[in-house]
Amino acid sequence: MTTIFDDLLATNKVCAASYDGAGLSRTPARHLAIVTCMDTRIDPIGQLGLKRGDAHILRNAGGRVNDDALRSLVLSVQLLGVTAIAVIGHTDCATAKITNESVRATLIEKGVDPGVVTDLDVHPVGDQQQAIRDDLALLASSPLLPHDLALAGFIFDVETGELEPVSS
């Protein structure tokens, strides 16, 4: 039976024929890192006109600068030359429509042991503009990062494809 992974491998062989990454550096050419959501409608490279080699791209549910994103950004900035970080949320984000309680209830309904969901924190986002401002403040004040980073926040509109800056 053909699986989705067989499909991915077959398509990758076609894509590899026109691959343009040979010889590129692991240091981002534009000294840029982007933190954004895992959402299906987001293609950071395509919608920002970036080229392969330009930027580090970090993605998680909600596009949050949590402990793990900070771990990655420490490597980006301190080892790999990144000097600018954009945090990009988006409209219609699933993490803005859930609470920890609602997710725990769903998991239990689906048969997950109630004992393992008690402490589950899925990082729900209340006010997304404020969440991005909080994330930028966290980056600006982290003792693990220099204080002269260029930082900016945006919301990506999944219906129009347009970015709007988040005011400070």
* Ramachandran angles phi, psi of 72, nearest 5°: -65, -40
Residues whose CB is less than 8 angstroms from the CB of residue 27 and which lie 6 or more positions away in sequence, other chains included: 80, 81
- Nearer CB in complex with a copy of itself: 13/130: 13
| Interacting positions 4-43 with a copy of itself (CB under 8 A) | 4-5, 8-9, 11-16, 19, 21-33, 38-43
Residue 90 CB, nearest distance to a copy of itself (Å)? 10
Q: How far apart are CA 124 and CA 96, in angstroms?
A: 6
**x/- site string to a copy of itself, residues 120 to 149, per CB under 8 A?**
xxxx-------------------xx-x---
Residue 127 CB, nearest distance to a copy of itself (Å)? 19
Residue 114 makes contact with a copy of itself by CB under 8 A: no
Residue 112 CB, nearest distance to a copy of itself (Å)? 6
Residue 128 CB, nearest distance to a copy of itself (Å)? 14
Q: Are 83 and 139 in contact (CB under 8 A)?
A: no
**x/- site string to a copy of itself, residues 56 to 75, per CB under 8 A?**
xxxxxx----xxxx-xx-xx
Residue 162 CB, nearest distance to a copy of itself (Å)? 5
Residues whose CB is less than 8 angstroms from the CB of residue 73 and which lie 6 or more positions away in sequence, other chains included: 33, 35, 58, 65, 82, 85, 139, 145
- Nearer CB in complex with a copy of itself: 84/138: 84
Size of the site for a copy of itself (CB under 8 A): 91
3 state DSSP class of 26: coil
Nearest to 31 by CA among 89, 76, 88: 76
Residues in the chain: 168
